[in-house]
Structures are given as structure tokens and as C-alpha cells.
Chains A and B, each alone.
Chain A
């Protein structure tokens, strides 16, 4: 008898053994302290002054001259320092010097080289010069490219594959060095825009303005062709008339025409300094094979440096020990004092030691980790919105009780971007200058109920657009005067969409009564091209079809991949499309140029996706472009807005309102949609964070214990009956 039990026992133990193993594993990885079990970071880091955030898409380029997307600026903005920056607190957005001593003033010259007045006639201007002086004594981050030996020779400037055999990452170089920031580094970077090996997205645009950039590019590519196999061209050896070094701390940029928006570009990382040592260092043989490139390991003067670059897992920024220290702004908008944003005024930045960005491709885990306290800030995806935010009786957004209990804070800001639906003006049915097409477009403009769209798909986080210019950009008019009379009327205190009957009337006038073509009686079929294919896209497609069905129009959604969509846009074979634009800089020119005729997608490969062309508008655009903000400019802008509203090449769509959440231990949060270098202003209180985390993440065990218990209970009768059977067979 006893013999059998012995044999059976290990069998039962199989299950408890598995659960024990599971327990052991858990214990192993969490250690024996009190800290939460689901902490995705090492526990010893909890008390450190580290900022935690996530990123969803790996950066493609970290070379400041090629990078042009916000997910790259998150890192680059902290590392590289262009001459100018936006003031962190002040609104409207204001440019202030970063490495420059002061904001450069444009000097206008005519053909003879005579200095002109600021308001000189456009036709007489031949050259515009910006002289920029940078602060002395700015140092680069420690980097092997600067490392020198005792005799002053660069340590790592004669590398080859053999010497690199033990090097796998930048951190494997033993010695690092630094040097002072010089004016020639800025000029070097401007020259890199024309480098045949580097792709700069703005080189085409800048070639229009910076003197001689085009010729310079040709010269460089000729040099490259003549010397095949050379990986490094020392740009200091070649002259670019548009960018010249004057002395160690001064350089001069010359434009071939007046371009007031140029200053904004000077705050973007395209114009960050690039030391020639770094360029040379990375271009040595064998480096690219090791993935050690300038595109991967930035070298800057900013408050932070990239210490770990593993976009499959995480990106780590660490405090740059050589950073000169910059003072937190001591003045801001009214109200900033009260909200504590000036508490740190004049203190030396940066405040945090390290910033860890973890890869999160799925929005749900990212959101849940934020709630558990493992990310310091978070946006709100549409589906977790109701959990986080509710609207009070006045219709203002406020946090739900759950969030308030956790001490989470909410920030909102109307973004300087626009999300619109465009008509291809080159299309036969929907486009063109005919009255029939215009009425059709206007009927659709009224019908597609963006208020509903915003409330369903963006949880009310958007402002219906009245024209191309978003609020917060010069030229936008608020209130009754600012509504689009073709779509809205003013009722009481808010704009109200015209009735659907009005739209139907317009449609009938256009020759499509009840959505049927009066020439052949067929139902009107329109096509919407969209590259969207995510989980949420079906819902929005269904909604869009519902809108057009109100007019009796059958909308066919042509969902394609992104490349095909782009191709259709280039060829102009799309009919209706959805698109958006995010401002490069806070100036109306950056929105109107999306409708400027010579910028059409077709033939010109520009950014005017609707291929809109209107002579009057184009002329006004050229006039508006070089004006400075004031009532005169506003008058021109009003005229332009009226023209495009009448033609309705876009459904103006809406301006998204950005909602962001942060925990109470995260200080100095203020939405700034233009600045990219905001990490240095941020402060963290790690103690509060550690406490909250362990409060929120108490492991719950009983369901697992219950499960194991149930399994045992279920198995017990079988074992008993088996034992009885065995006993019987022996008897």
C-alpha cells in the first residue's frame, strides 16, 4: 500500500513544483525588499533623479542635418544647440538666444551693396545678412572624437578595422575629450546641407535662400566623383558664400532674398553646430560596419548626451558634465507665478541627471504603466480618455476622481497643427474652378460634421477649423468675425454648422439633386484615399461613409499602404484624402504655403497636396510672406482666407487639442509646441514617486492561490478512487 503512495506523491508534486518554480523566479527578480514586483526598472534606481518616458517609434536619424520628425527631436533637442530657442514660458511664442549672444538682426543690401532701410521695397533687396555672435566658453560633451594624447595628437583619428576589433559601441573607446564651441562649427553644419552623402530634407528649401548653396552642392558632388572612395570631405576647405566664419565666435549667413521666417529655422537642429572632428571620426573605415555613425551617436553641446542608444529597447540621455549651466527663466506669462512655474526661476539647469525613454509600441501597456507610476508623463489615447478626463457642467475638461486621487495633473493646449480633408483640385468631378464643383465641395463641407468627429474620435479634443490657420498663430481670428460663413453661422455665443437642408440645396444647385447626377441619373460615387490601416480606421471609415450618405453620395474608401498613397498624391490620381500639417514655426506662411499654386504636388512635388491654384491667392501669398506681423499683414491674410474659404479646396477639419497628463512628482510642466529642448526645464521628486509606486502596485496573490487550490481539489477524488481501485486489484 505505502509503496503506491510514494509513487503517486511526486506526481501530485508536479503541480506544486511548477508553482514553486514560478514563485522562485518571481522572488529572484524582485529581490526581497518591499518594492513593487511589476517595476520594469531595476529597484536600486527608484530613488535616483531619473526621468522616465516612452517612445513609440524608433528614431530614423539622429544626424541633426537630416532629422525632421518630432520623435527624433525628443532626443536631438536635448543634445544639439542651434543658435536660437523659443522662450519656455512666454506666449505667443518668442525666440530668444540659446548659444547666440543676441537675436541677429537682418541687414538688407541692394545690388550695389548699399545698406537699405528695414522696410525697403522688395524689388530693390539683393542680399540679406545675419551676423550671429555666439557665447564664448561653451564646451562639447565628452567624446572620443576630441580625445588627444599628451603631444596633442588626436587619439582616434587614424582608426582602421584592426584597431576597431574590440570596439562595438561608442562607449568602448577608453579616452574622451572635449573642446570649445567655435563659430566655424555652425558654418560647417550649414555646408553639410549640401553634402552629397548626407540627405537634408530642407536643402532644397534652403538652396532657394542661402546664397550659393546650390553651386556649393554641385562643387561637392564633383569633388566626390573625382575622388571615389574618399569617405571624408573636409568642408572647412571649401568656401560657401552664404555662410562665412568671421572670427572664433562670429559667423555670417547671407540670404539672396528677404525671408523673415529664417530666424525660426535658426532655432531648429538643422542649424546646430557640427565639429569637424566628429564628422571625420565617424567617417573612418570600419566605423559604419560597427553601426558607429553620426546618425546614431550625436555629439553636442546641450545639457544632455545620449549615453545609451538601443532603439529596440530604450534610449538613455545623461547629463552632460561639460554643460555650461543655463538659468531657468525668471519671467513668464501671467499666471505662471501662481501655478508655480517660476519656483525654480534663475536656478541652474538641468535639474535631472538622467532620462530613460523605453520603447512602447502598443498604447495600452504604455498607458497602464503610466497609471502604475512607471512613466512620469503620458498623452491620452482616445480609448483611455474617459478613464482620465471628464467634462464638467460648463463643458471644461477636468480629471476624473480616479486620476485626482493619484495626484495626476492635466495640461491642455490647442496644437499649432491642422487635420484636414482635401479635395484633389485636379480631379474632374470634385476639383477645378467650375461653379458646379465648388458648390459640391461646399455642400460636402457642411455635411461632414466635424463636431461629431471630434467628439467620437478625439473625445472632444479638437477645435473645428474655420480656415487653414490654427489658433495661436498670427492671422487666426477668434469669435464671430472668424467663422467660415460658407459652413457656419453665428448663433448666440458659438458657431453652428449650416443645416443639412442647406447642403442639399447646394448639392441640387450643383446638379446632383438627392446625390444623383442630373445628366445621367446615376448615384454620385466619390473616392476617399487613405493610408490608414490601424485598428481604429474601420470605425472612422464607417463614420465618413455615413456623412456622405446624408447627401445621398456613395463614398468609396480606397485604403492603401502608405507608399501607394504617396504615389497617388504625387500623380494626382486621388480624389479625396485626409492629411494634416504640423507647424514648423509659428507663422501663417507655414500654413498658407500648403495652398500656394507653385507648391503643388503634381509636377512640382511640393506640399500643396490639394493641387490648389488660384492666381489671386498666389499673389497675396507672395506679398504676405515677407511682411512683418501687424494690421497690414492681417488685412492681406483675411483676404487670402476669404479666397480659400470660397473655393473650399479643403474641408478645414479641426485643430487637435493636445491633452497631456503628468504625475505630481513631475515639475515645471508647461506645454510648449515649438520648443524641442524642454527636458532641461523639468524637475523630478523621486521620493514621492517611490512612495506612490509601492502604494499603487501591491501584488494581489489570492486568485493564483485559489486556482492552484481548485486544481488540487478537482484532482483529489480521482486519486482517491484510483487508490481504491489499486487496493481492490491487490485483493
Chain B
């Protein structure tokens, strides 16, 4: 394996690093610890956090890219494929390779449409052919598949229950150590929902998701759980691979725009005068251009760049990645103005407060006033805007893909799935599974993000409720 690091990968890990640093920082500061403590006591928010965590793990696994090794040839030196895989692909195993010829319904053993088939006796007939992978282990799928699916769901269920009980034991054990009480007592407390931290809700959510995951995993060994698309690719695989795209757009966009928004907002509010005027001018101007037009023009711009430097991009993934990054940047440019304006207003208020005035009187440099006195006091606004923007950005990706100015068409994304599925809705019988898969995956993520961001917002700033 030869690791490859795309730009977005690097940025994602930078983001992870920043989150870790923030966690350590927040633990030591009461004014940050308290609201997070508040968040952790909300059952709905913590359930949402569990779901988000699962998405994030998948996204991170999908961000570890490498060139797989090709089979050994006569020559001694190893050769790597020019294609790019990720650790997630290893986890998902054969899901990617198991492609059928064309459409097949979820959990089907036969193809979706009739085809001409050569019979052994040389004649031809028109019928629903067996799938290459879906239900391939069955002899008589027509009669056996329902029982087989039920059996697999049951096995998955049992496995899920086993894993969740082990997890429950583990958590109880750790909690009993931490609270210095008996194992039984903790178990009882969890049952009665008697912790400040919403452990009970978290454990229930975790168990449910684990059971769902094991069932899906178990079924995916033998079937296409979400069916296959027009060229026979597993829809489940596409939906899972799309997670990274959604997360990248939702987080990197904010990451990219944060430095500008914070710097500009603070400067405008702190210095006032002509600096304020210039910055206000800048964001009013940017704001007044319809966002879609700005994005469309920029995406075209990128295509020109890639077109002119075609040789620098050896793989389809690299091109797609650059486009994704660019989309994040341009979405960032169109969305930083809101945060900037909020920060400016807050800074205008803050700079009149005694200790800032005092620091100015003592001749503390402007930069350090901004960094040490102003920045920490506006961080809650930044925090809130990050979590609120996330779900909006994930949804925006789908709309942009619809007008062909979203991510690269070769990239797995929910927007691309929806866009492709639009036409499938007209089929009779209707091909609903691509749309359904994109809907489910996206809906769960956005719902979780919305619930979590509500809690964060309430905890950090009850006044900013709207």
C-alpha cells in the first residue's frame, strides 16, 4: 500500500487535531466546560451525538487513502495501482466489486428487468436473470429468499444484542470505577436514568444502531441491501461513500472561512473607522451577489484550471478532490459574511467593556487585546454558527448538484445520487431505492446535526435563540 494524502484529507486531519486541542482547552476552562456539561445531560442531544460520531468515524476511515498494490508480476519491484482506495473500502470488503449488470431491487436475487438469456440448449428466452451476487448462495431464491433474509436478520439481531450487552458491561464497568461505586448500582442507575450525563439515552441509541448495523452487515454479505443502480453498483456502498463528501462540505467550508470571518469581524468591530468601512463594504458587496451565480462562475473557473493543467491530475479522485475543496472554499466565501457581521456587532459591544478599555490604557498591543480579550469572548458565537451551518451545507450540496455546479459527477455524494434518481422516479415499476438510500442517510445525518446543534446553541447562549 502506498498512502496518498489528498488536500481535503490533510484538512480533515487538521480539523481533527484542532478539535482535540479544543477538548483539552475546554476541560481546563470552566466557562467552556459548563455548557458542554449541560449539553451532555440532554438525552436527545447525546443520542444525536452518537449518530454523528458513527458518521464521523466512517468519514475518517474514508479519508485514509492509498494506492493498492497490484498482484506480483514477473519484475521484482512492486507496482501500485493508479487507482485510489481508502481504509473504508477495506472495511466494506467486496461491496464495491460485487456489481451486477444493471438495476436490482433491495435484497433481490433476480434482476429488475427482463433480459434475453441464452439457454443451455442454444435457444433464447426472455426472463428475469439471476443476479451474480445478490442471493447467489441460494438454490431456489424464489421460494427460499424470504426465509433466508429473515434468518439473516435474526442472526444480525442476535449478534447486535451480544455486542451491545458487552458494550453496556464495559461502560458500566468504567462508570463504576469512575464513580467508585458497585457495578450493580451503576447498572441500576442507568436503568433508572439517574446520571447527570445522559448515559441511558446514549446506551439505548448505541444498542439500536449496533443492532441495525449488524443486521445490515450480515445481509450485505449475501444481498444488495439497498439494491443496485443503473450500472449495477451497490447503492449501499455509494450511500456510505457519500458520507465523507457530506461531512467534508459541512465542516471544511466552515474551517476554510473561519479565519477570515473571525479576523475581519474582530478588526471591523475593534478598529472601527475606515477599516470597518472597508470590511463592511466587502461583505455587503459579496452578500449582494446571488450566491448561486458566484458558485457557478467559480466552478467553471476551476474546470478551466483543471482543463489547462490536465497532466497534473493523474487520477479521477484527485480531480474530484480538488473540485470538492474548491466548492468548500467558494461556499465559504459566500457564507462567511453572516458570521462576520455577528462578530463585528459583538466586538463593538465588547470593546466598550472596562477590561478592554483598561488594557488599551495600559498600552497592550491591539493584536494581543484582540487575541486574549476579544477572541475568547466571541468564541461561543463561532461555536454556535459552526454547528448550525453544518446541516445547511449538507443540504446545499444536493441542490448544487442538481444544477450541475456541485461536486464532481464522478464523486459519490447524496446530491449526485438524488440527481441521478430523479429520472428513475419515472420508471414503472418505480426505482425508488437510490432516492430512498440517499434520503435515509442524509436525513439521519442532518436530523442528528440539527438536534445536536439545538442543544449546543441552548447551552452556549440562551439569548441567541432563534
Residue positions of A touching B, CB distance < 8 A: 363-364, 367-368, 381-384, 386-387, 390-393, 395, 402, 452, 455-457, 514, 516, 521-523, 525, 527, 532-543, 545-546, 554, 556-561, 564, 567-568, 573
Contacts and interface: CB of A to CB of B under 8 A. Distances in A.
B314 A525 contact: yes
B349 interface: no
Contacts of A539: 229-231, 420
Closest 4 CB pairs of A and B: A387-B428, A383-B423, A539-B230, A535-B419
A559 B425 contact: no
A390 B420 contact: no
B427 A521 contact: no
B322 to A, nearest CB: 12
B35 interface: no
Contacts of A540: 231
A538 B409 CA distance: 6
B231 A542 contact: yes
Given A391-B126, A456-B102, A522-B79, A384 B428 contact: yes
B365 interface: no
B37 interface: no
A368 B125 CA distance: 32
Interface string B21-41: 000000000000000000000
Given A514-B73, A522-B79, A387 B310 contact: no
Given A523-B82, A557-B410, A383 B427 contact: yes
Contacts of A561: 300, 303
A564 B426 contact: no
A559 B124 contact: no
B420 A554 contact: no
B9 interface: no
A38 to B, nearest CB: 17
B319 A558 contact: yes
Contact of B116 (A391, A456, A516, A545): A391
A270 B124 CA distance: 50
Contact of B310 (A381, A384, A527): A527
12 contacts: A384-B428, A390-B114, A393-B126, A395-B116, A521-B73, A523-B82, A541-B409, A542-B410, A554-B315, A556-B313, A560-B303, A561-B300
Nearest to A538: B409
Interface in B99-133: 99, 101-102, 113-116, 124-126
Interface string B279-309: 0000000000000000000001001101100
B228 to A, nearest CB: 11
Contacts of B229: 539
A452 B101 contact: yes
A392 B422 CA distance: 28
B160 to A, nearest CB: 33
B132 to A, nearest CB: 13
B112 to A, nearest CB: 9
B420 A384 contact: no
Interface string B408-423: 1110000010011011
Contact of B81 (A456, A533, A554, A557): A554
Nearest to B77: A521
Contacts, number: 120
A719 B229 CA distance: 49
B75 interface: yes
Contacts of A546: 99, 231
Nearest to B124: A395
B435 to A, nearest CB: 12
A533 B113 CA distance: 26
Given A391-B126, A527-B310, A558-B307, 15 more contacts: A364-B426, A383-B423, A386-B113, A386-B427, A392-B126, A455-B102, A455-B115, A535-B420, A536-B420, A538-B409, A538-B410, A556-B313, A557-B410, A558-B319, A559-B408
Contacts of B145: none
A533 B310 contact: no
A546 B230 CA distance: 13
B15 interface: no
Nearest to A363: B423
Given A456-B231, A558-B319, A564 B126 contact: no
Contacts of A383: 423-424, 426-427, 431
B70 interface: yes
A533 B404 contact: yes
B423 A535 contact: yes
A402 B231 contact: no
A363 B303 contact: no
Contacts of A558: 306-307, 310, 319
A543 B233 CA distance: 10
A538 B307 contact: no
Nearest to A515: B70
B300 A363 contact: no
Nearest to A544: B231
B420 A395 contact: no
B426 A387 contact: yes
A386 B428 contact: yes
Contacts of B70: 523
B316 interface: yes
A448 to B, nearest CB: 14
A522 B314 CA distance: 13
B293 to A, nearest CB: 15
Given A381-B423, A514-B73, A523 B231 contact: no
B94 interface: no
B425 A364 contact: yes
Contacts of B352: none
Contacts of B115: 455
B461 interface: no
A250 B387 CA distance: 79
A541 B230 CA distance: 11
A363 B426 contact: yes
A112 to B, nearest CB: 56
Identify which of B77, B101, B303, B306 gathers the most chain A CB atoms within 10 Å of its CB.
B303
B101 A456 contact: yes
A661 to B, nearest CB: 14
Nearest to B79: A521
A530 B8 CA distance: 25
B83 interface: yes
Contacts of B83: 554
A337 B15 CA distance: 75
Contact of B125 (A384, A393, A523, A567): A393
A452 B404 CA distance: 27
A725 to B, nearest CB: 26
A533 B409 contact: yes
Nearest to B113: A386
Contact of A557 (B77, B316, B404): B316
A393 to B, nearest CB: 6
Nearest to B431: A383
A398 to B, nearest CB: 12
Contacts of A568: 307
A185 B314 CA distance: 58
Contacts of A402: 428
A557 B318 CA distance: 11
A408 to B, nearest CB: 13
A564 B231 contact: no
A554 B83 CA distance: 7
Nearest to B411: A538
